[in-house]
Amino acid sequence: MNATLITGASDGIGKAIAREFASLKHNLVLVARNEERLAALCEELRSKYRIQVQYIVADLTKPEAPGALFEECLQRTISVDVLINNAGKGSSGEFFKNDLEAELEIIRLNNSSLVALTHLFLPEMIRNKKGFIVNVASMIAFFPSPYMAVYAGSKHFVKAFTYSLTEECRPYGVNVLLFSPGLTTSNFMNTKANNNDWGKVLVQGSNTQTPEQVAKELVTAYKRNKTFHVSGSRNRVFAILAAHLSPGFVARSFAKQKRKQIGWKQFM
Ligand SMILES: NC(=O)c1ccc[n+]([C@@H]2O[C@H](COP(=O)([O-])OP(=O)(O)OC[C@H]3O[C@@H](n4cnc5c(N)ncnc54)[C@H](OP(=O)(O)O)[C@@H]3O)[C@@H](O)[C@H]2O)c1
């Protein structure tokens, strides 16, 4: 069976992407840690769209997880022709105060697992001269973001990796899309690492989209065979402008503004 595999499909943007691809009648493989939520979504999509939907439980921060996921797909004779690397997490706060293990987990999830899954599933797409990979980055990939330092770094990696991979894959007929949402009303900012004073200040004044709006833009970019898309028209303008400014200047101005907003002296 050919299928679209979506990581981080149990919630937020990934769940909305799953619903959109189900409506296009793609068979799906949904991946995340929460089995209950994955099973419920499988049931919903199977009965609504009469497609094949399976789930695989995986904690993608574990180094062995991408390989095990790939093997499980082989066992189930699933051929992944669309891979959507969406699972991701972040943290807010002063880097030196953040828990180191949690910071390293961001890199394992946002970068190591994305690279591993791409490396595992890409060869078959190349053999078939057909395939589509979506790497979900963020607006934050276009400028430095003090007080989200590791998350920003992880998404800059996704951007540089994807731009490069897009061109390596182009001659083989495999499309690679860098897809960058802005602030989205999911549980992303409600995690232990993000739900703090810094997290609240960092998102103040940001343009917000719903996961459904973001997923619709992703599907439109997919249908148009795009290799680059920033979700949300205001986000697009902002990302393009920010990318043309000096990163040092952007970082300094942003940090100053956010320290002022939070009343930083109290934290010294
Ligand atoms: N929300 C935003 O404002 C925003 C903005 C820009 C970019 N993004 C990016 O968009 C993507 C999706 O974010 P979201 O807003 O949908 O976040 P979310 O609502 O927190 O959902 C994250 C998804 O990833 C899964 N996940 C988390 N840790 C995992 C792990 N260790 N192994 C496997 N799956 C894991 C979660 O499921 P389980 O808990 O069941 O594992 C969930 O399905 C991320 O890459 C994020 O960086 C989000």
- The token pair at 222 is 């997919």
Q: Collect the ranges in the chain with pLDDT lower than 70.
A: 266-268
Mean pLDDT of the residues in the chain? 96
Q: Is 207 in the pocket of ligand 1 (CB under 6 A)?
A: no
Write out the two tokens for 13.
């943007």
pLDDT of 266 reads 56
State residue 205's pLDDT score.
82
The string of DSSP codes covering 70-89 is HHHHHHTT-EEEEEEE----
Would residue 151 show up in a list of annotated catalytic residues for this protein? yes
CATH of the domain at 235: 3.40.50.720
Q: What is the pLDDT of residues 22-77, one digit of tens each?
A: 999 999 999 999 999 999 999 999 999 999 999 999 999 999 999 999 999 999 99
Q: Say how many domains are in the chain.
A: 1
> Which residue puts its alpha carbon closest to atom 18 of ligand 1?
188
pLDDT score at 204: 85
CA 33 to ligand 1: nearest atom:
41
Q: What is the DSSP string of the chain?
A: -EEEEEESTTSHHHHHHHHHHHHTT--EEEEES-HHHHHHHHHHHHHHH---EEEEE--TTSTTHHHHHHHHHHHTT-EEEEEEE-------S-GGGS-HHHHHHHHIIIIIHHHHHHHHHHHHHHHHT-EEEEEE--GGGGS--TTSHHHHHHHHHHHHHHHHHHHHHGGGTEEEEEEE--SBSSSGGGSTTTSSHHHHHHHTT---B-HHHHHHHHHHHHHTT-SEEESSHHHHHHHHHHHTS-HHHHHHHHHHHHHHHHTGGGG-
Among all chains, which residue has been given the structure tokens 């990979």?
A: 133
- According to the model, what pLDDT value does residue 201 have? 86
Q: Among 89, 150, 212, which residue has the most ligand 1 atoms within 8 Å of its CB, making it the best to mutate?
A: 89
Looking at the DSSP bridge assignments, the partners of residue 155 are none
CA-to-CA dists, residue 209 to 20, 112, 231, angstroms: 16, 27, 8
Per the structure, the complete domain to which residue 110 belongs is given by: 2-267
- 32 CA → ligand 1 middle, Å: 9
Task: Take residue 265 and report the two structure tokens written for it.
Answer: 């002296």
